[in-house]
Amino acid sequence: MSKSKSKSLPSSAAIGVIGAGAMGRGIAQVAAQAGHPVLLFDAMEGVAAKAVGLVAGDLDKLAGRGKISADEAKSIAGRITPAASLADFAPVKLAIEAVIEDIGVKADVFRTLETVCGPDTILATNTSSISVTAIAARLDRPERLVGMHFFNPAPIMKLVEVVSGLASDPALAEIVHATATAWGKSAVHAKSTPGFIVNRVARPFYAEALRLLEEGATDPATLDAVLRDCGGFRMGPCELMDLIGHDVNSAVTRSVWQAYHNDPRYRPSLLQQEMVLAGRLGRKTGQGFYNYGPDAAPPAPSTEDGHRPPKSILISGDIGPLAALEDRWLEAGIQVLRDDSSDPEGFIRAEGATIAITDGLPATARAALDEIDNLVLVDLARDYDSTKRICLAAAEQTDPDAVKIACGLFQILGKEVSLIDDAPGMIVLRTAAMLANEAAEAVLYGVADPAGVDTAMTMGVNYPVGPLEWAEDIGLDRVLEALDALSGITGDDRYRASALLRRKVLGGRYFHG
């Protein structure tokens, strides 16, 4: 699944788009901006003409902001023509369907196009959830059909998943890939499996958040703040689910779960089910995890009051990325001592408190197993030096004063501290490990290659880094350790480690390079 070397369709080639809703008109705009003449059709009378007007308005707004010239805006809009029927699609070289997610409706569109278009016309479906193989099986020439999955809004979002069903002609998939790239998109090849890349690999981002809330680990505002501030995500999962709509998010999760024969990896959340039953669907109903009423206060994460820092700390062993804070502590007036003769795991000892980065085990279990006094665990952060928030969890056995000392150690550096319940894997490590695990599974089963998965997740859902690249930054062995700890402590098969991830660790290899 290497980068396409095929030639893209020339800009003189006519493009047909079926479905003039938000996605269809967005795709039409993208193709027209690339210089193609575009035919836009919708089964509802007048909708295609209205859509052309909406595109023209959007282009005028771009011109008003100086993104394009007024002449360019007029020229692009002029390349989109509303079609009276699919019979007008005879000259198109690429027909992209963007109608409702109903396999019968989509198949009817393509069967009509087979009778109208020439034999060299490529048929593409923008489906986000229906098997490309299943749609193609209803056609006379299934090899002509390729998935071309854009993300909304199509003119802005860079990703296009080029999806091949069992019968798809690889040469046509390469032309679609090259064409999407020529249109300024980041195209990735994918195999037709449930969820393709993004809707599959993204499931743990929502699922682990919901699971942590069900476990009572923390509240939605704190969970979101930790994943934004420590994990680098643009939005936390709770606010994102509120934006998407819990009915939509739940339906996608249930669809993927059922498609994978109820695999526990994709098990829907009872909490989200309750929210849907209650009509708390998010922004569109005014209530989800958060209240969106006119007088609602903005959600505030749980942040610890200020506590005094220790006067000195003793670092033993390798404390990993927390070492980036040693100079900061020295500058803050804390005496930093080192003892490299013991504790290869790496601990910071501060006036009775023992501080370490989470390895996936709950602090209570780790303290009991290793006979550690007053253990406080630190969640993963993309960059401990720059993060404004630190997430901590204490063992049941830990003295409250030791927790305060741990808080003070990070607060003296100007960082806000959120204390959560003792949940296995905490928040960021658990999320990152599960995302990496799902990405590894996608690679194992040939859905996409590692570069394709990482590109899809950064370009399609704006992750700060691809899950496999992030796993390599963390250390594949640490990710595997966390998954094994989660699996062992919960007994839940959802946390079983990917065989490919385990193989990479045992073989001392990476996904990239």
How much is the mean pLDDT over the chain? 96
Query: Catalytic residue at 199?
Result: yes
Q: Which residues have C-beta within 8 Å of that of residue 7, sequence separation ≥ 6?
A: 175, 178
Per-residue pLDDT of 204-239, as tens digits, reads 999 999 999 999 999 999 999 999 999 999 999 999
State the CB neighbour count (10 A cutoff) for residue 430: 27
pLDDT band at 342 (very low <50, low <70, confident <90, very high): low
| Set 8, 128, 250, 255: catalytic member | 128
Query: Catalytic residue at 128?
Result: yes
Asked whether residue 2 carries a pLDDT value surpassing 70, the answer given is: no
Cα(241)–Cα(246) distance, rounded to whole angstroms?
A: 6
Per-residue pLDDT of 156-204, as tens digits, reads 999 999 999 999 999 999 999 999 999 999 999 999 999 999 999 999 9
For 438-451, what is the mean pLDDT?
98
Per-residue pLDDT of 147-158, as tens digits, reads 999 999 999 999
pLDDT band at 27 (very low <50, low <70, confident <90, very high): very high
For 341-368, what is the mean pLDDT?
91
pTM: 0.94
pLDDT at position 344 is 66
Domains of the chain: 15-192 (3.40.50.720), 199-300+427-463+482-513 (1.10.1040.50), 312-420 (3.30.750.190)
Please state the length of the chain.
Answer: 513
For 270-285, what is the mean pLDDT?
98
| Set 149, 177, 189, 246: catalytic member | 149
Asked whether residue 4 carries a pLDDT value surpassing 50, the answer given is: no
For 103-117, what is the mean pLDDT?
97
Cβ atoms of 280 and 287 closer than 8 Å: yes
Closest CA to 344 of 380, 313, 320: 320
| Set 126, 199, 255, 418: catalytic member | 199
pLDDT at position 443 is 98
pLDDT band at 362 (very low <50, low <70, confident <90, very high): very high
Percent of the chain having pLDDT more than 90? Answer: 97
pLDDT at position 343 is 58
| Set 97, 161, 351, 481: catalytic member | 161
For 127-135, what is the mean pLDDT?
95
Burial class (CB in 10 A: 0-12, 13-18, 19+), 220: buried
Asked whether residue 359 carries a pLDDT value surpassing 60, the answer given is: yes
Q: Which residues have C-beta within 8 Å of that of residue 384, sequence separation ≥ 6?
A: 321, 322, 324, 325, 390
For 313-320, what is the mean pLDDT?
93
Cβ atoms of 350 and 406 closer than 8 Å: yes
Asked whether residue 374 carries a pLDDT value surpassing 90, the answer given is: yes
